[in-house]
Amino acid sequence: MGLAARPEHKVVSYAPESQEGWVTSRLDFLVNWARAGSLWPMPFGTACCAIEFMATAASRFDLSRFGMERMSFSPRQADVLICAGRVPFKLAPVIRRIWQQMPQPKWCISMGACASSGGMFDNYAVVQGIDTIIPVDVYVPGCPPRPEGLLYGIMMLQKKVMNERMSDQSIRNEMEPDPNSKLYIPPPVIDELSEPFGNSVHQTRSGL
Amino acid sequence: MNPSADRIRAKFPAAFVRADVVWGETTVFVKPEHVFDVIQYLHDDPNEQYAYLSDVTAVEYRDLEQPLEVVWHLRSITFPAFIRIKAQMQKDKPLRVKSVWPIYKGADWLERECYDMFGIEFEGHPDLRRILMWEQYKEGFPLRKDFPLRGRFSRAEQLRQALAANPEARYSMEELQIADAFEDLPSDMRRRLLGGEETGE
Amino acid sequence: MATKRTVDVALSTTGLDPQGRPQRVPLVTDESGNVTTMVAPPALEPELEGEHMLINLGPQHPATHGVLRLVLELDGETVVRCIPHVGYLHCGFEKIGEYRQYNQIIPWTDREDYLNSPGNNVAFALGAERLFGIEVTERCKVLRVIALEMSRIISHLVWLGTTCIDIGAFTPFLWSFQERENIYNLLEGWCGARLTTSLTRVGGMIADVPDGWVDGLKGFLQTFPKTIAEVDRMVTRNGIWVGRTIGIGALSATEAINYGLSGPMVRASGVAYDVRKDFPYLDYETYDFDVPIGTTGDVYDRFLVRMEELRQSVRILEQAVARLPDGPLNIDDPRIILPSKTKATTEMESMIHHFKVVMEGPRPPIGESYVVVESPKGEKGYYMVSDGTSKPVRWRIRPPSFVNLSAIPKMVEGHLLSDVIAINASIDIVMGEIDR
């Protein structure tokens, strides 16, 4: 007598908040507050945005009040990769390798139009957005973004960090493109799909 | 008209093609085989003393019938004077001209960039390899007029080739040899290098 | 014995170093007034031998001023050989210049040497105007001189801040960036942008300076020399600074010219070449200013040359502000520059001109021009070839930092690893300009 287990029932919904008790939610808050308050940036500064980043770190728009004055140029000790500036194709494996060297938890801010989407450099040499290479959390538009804009992006990232939950395991996975996922399109299929709109060979409006 | 142009015409009648003045700047067209001698003369002669090489570059016109021009900008600080030497090269023949590196050390990188962007080979250059693109760049020579603005391959293919540009073996063969670090490489990399695979960025 | 924190620097009477250049030694005065030379650290034992080490500096590195990669062959800590790799910021500027009208290229000149944006704008406008064969108004010329000297100040301030950080002094970085904020305020009042200004157009400027702007500039010129003096007091005779920069990375005058160096690099080596004096433009021959020339060409000399250039820039700016004439800003030719908004919205002809200038762009006659300008890095040239259309056939940027950097293997040989950083900082490179 007793209820037999019914193996066809599986837990289908999993809301992390519902699994939390008082202790876990306090712990979450503490951990997230600590992380958000001391995000050590890894300034991957390449071009003009790097100068505005330096200006943000200088005395007028102080980054130190956000806990980010300790620029870690070694990726092993950094939390957030701020890609400031345009990334050409020659630099693509470098930024990929640096992202892979950063230990979790890590975030990425793409600062400026060139890092977010290639910016005004729609040509043979520039990566059209670093989100084709590494997963980006916050995009800061501008060419270059004003320091206030970068600070707004940093505060947005801090809000994102505060909303994380330890019980949600998936956010700390290393994001690699999963060939079995339905969202992943292999490059030859991309070439075929984009051919009518194509970026280079078939685009005849060479005036622009 | 810069008086050096007349002196070049007098000294090198076989090499001199013509001289122009455009907006106050003198351009002397010289045959490609004789460019080195003309520039050597301009550098050494005490009346010329063009000790400063400003720039080495090339121009390809939109009218594809026109020849490709290689341009040298020379400057004399003692006098002061400025002259532009141009050599026109037909595109159906291989694009080759003698390097002025023995005269001006500053031509080193300028000629490498000219090679990278246009495919012009400079004979006598100590280390002619690509400088702005990575060494195994397959798409071609970017500043030629038949090279489309956005490249020949699609974006996905460009990204794939860029990421595959050998991030581990990021030293050229020359660098690995001089440092005698070959023994420290992992064995499969050594095998690939010995098999002739090119490294480089 | 208490050692003083500051030292004096003198040319030694013993004369020449192994390369034949006049040697300079730091002198220390102790309490009793005796002057002695600073003692060099003892040389490493020559019996120790080992393999040479190959290390990679960059492309991502805090002290390489951008994405520069240096492969160094080290014998212990001494550099035996250096192979630089550039191209990590190559973005196809010259290619894209062939697909843009002349006025559309001006924002591109901002991004290329991004520390010197107003200067690049002016240089490009000068080149394009020579191609068109036009002369700008007097007011425009003086405003362009103001833009050039302001950009020289901001570029040298970045150099100062980053060089001090590289060698170890953090505070001048904050001071110099605070001064840059003052200039940023002025630039923002003029054209709306801090860094990427796009100040000029072919035939004129983007807009006239607003009311009260000149007073703001005058106020800046009052307070800025105090900051230079403060940095000078802190750094120039500092024992650590002198010890780290004297005799490092020296190049003789003939070597410097042969390598094609320009700007403070070549002037520190003793060559009196400044484009403003030798091939003047924008009436620079009517301004009263000096050009500092060094002696040995080491890092310390380049530092002194750039500090003095800051003071000379202030001098030129004071003269320019005093002589700023009233009058029209842009030229009167409606085929080249936009007509005023009032005319464009009321007169039919002006509206058509406006349409043509915006949609098609001004078209120069067939020809070419090579215009050089003294940028803070050196001789900056823009070579433009036109075939009669509104887009250039070839737009070539002659990058001073590119040629300056090619001399680094020569400068770095025989020095220590930490000197590589100091030498790299002293060249004042901008990777955007090198790689274009």
Q: At A43, which CATH number?
A: 3.40.50.12280
With pLDDT > 90 as the criterion, what percentage of chain C qualifies?
Answer: 55
Taking only the tens place, the pLDDT of each residue in C291-314 is: 999 888 889 999 999 999 999 999
> Hey, what amino acid is at C231?
V
Any domain includes A207: no
Asked if residue A208 has pLDDT above 80, the reply is no
Any domain includes C114: yes
Any domain includes A184: yes
Any domain includes C369: yes
Any domain includes A175: yes
Asked if residue C1 has pLDDT above 50, the reply is no
Residues C18 and C132 in one domain: no
Rounded to 5 degrees, what are φ and ψ at C288?
-105, 105
Any domain includes A4: no
With pLDDT > 70 as the criterion, what percentage of chain B qualifies?
Answer: 82
Residue C387 tokens, joined: 């075939």
Any domain includes A204: no
- Spell out which residues of chain A touch residue C89, defining contact as CB-CB under 8 Å: 46-47, 85-86, 88, 91
Any domain includes A208: no
Task: Quote the CA–CA distance of B49 and B56 in Å, as a whole number.
Answer: 18
Average pLDDT, rounded, for chain C: 87
Residues C292 and C176 in one domain: yes
* Longest CA–CA separation in chain C, Å: 87
- Cβ distance of B175 and C435 shorter than 8 Å: no
Residues C299 and C160 in one domain: yes
Residues spanned by the domain of A90: 21-194
CA A203 to chain centre: 31
Interface of A with B (CB under 8 A): 89-90, 92-94, 96-97, 122-125, 127-128, 132-133, 187, 190-191, 194, 198-201, 203, 206
Asked if residue A11 has pLDDT above 60, the reply is no
Looking at the structure of chain A, the number of domains it has is: 1
Among the listed residues C201, C251, C203, the one whose alpha carbon sits nearest the alpha carbon of residue C415: C251
Any domain includes A12: no
Task: Quote the CA–CA distance of C278 and C378 in Å, as a whole number.
Answer: 13
What is the three-class DSSP state of C204? strand
Q: Please give the domain boundaries of chain B with CATH numbers for all domains.
A: 1-131 (3.30.460.80)
- Cβ distance of B130 and C87 shorter than 8 Å: yes
Q: Are C227 and C175 in contact (CB under 8 A)?
A: yes
Looking at the structure of chain C, the number of domains it has is: 2
Residues spanned by the domain of C167: 100-377
| Interchain contact B62–C (C-beta under 8 A) | yes
Any domain includes A177: yes
Question: Which residue, among A42, A46, A71, would best test binding to C if mutated, counting the most C CBs under 10 Å from its CB?
Answer: A46
Residues C239 and C366 in one domain: yes
| Final residue before a domain boundary, out of C335, C355, C377 | C377
Taking only the tens place, the pLDDT of each residue in B112-165 is: 999 999 999 999 888 888 889 887 788 889 999 888 888 888 787 788 888 877
- Cβ distance of C181 and A60 shorter than 8 Å: yes
CA-to-CA dists, residue B175 to B190, B200, C73, angstroms:
14, 10, 8
Any domain includes C394: no
- Spell out which residues of chain B touch residue C372, defining contact as CB-CB under 8 Å: 54
Question: Which residue, among B130, B134, B154, B199, would best test binding to A if mutated, counting the most A CBs under 10 Å from its CB?
Answer: B154
**What's the start-to-end Cα distance of chain A, in Å?**
79
Asked if residue C79 has pLDDT above 60, the reply is yes
Give the gyration radius of chain B's Cα atoms.
21
Any domain includes C263: yes
Is C7 or B89 the better-scoring residue by pLDDT?
A: B89
Tell me, what CATH number does C184's domain have? 1.10.645.10
Asked if residue C126 has pLDDT above 50, the reply is yes
Task: Quote the CA–CA distance of A145 and C367 in Å, as a whole number.
Answer: 38
| Final residue before a domain boundary, out of C326, C344, C377 | C377
With pLDDT > 90 as the criterion, what percentage of chain B qualifies?
Answer: 36
pLDDT of residue C27: 66
Residues C204 and C128 in one domain: yes
Residues C23 and C113 in one domain: no
State the smallest CA–CA distance between residue B61 and chain C in angstroms. 6
Q: Any idea what DSSP says for residue A88?
A: B
**β-bridge mates for residue B53, sequence order:** B74
Any domain includes C90: no
pLDDT band at C78 (very low <50, low <70, confident <90, very high): confident
Residues C19 and C109 in one domain: no
- Cβ distance of A48 and C195 shorter than 8 Å: yes
Q: Which whole number is the average pLDDT over C383-396?
A: 92
pTM reported for the whole predicted model: 0.86
| Final residue before a domain boundary, out of C334, C360, C377 | C377
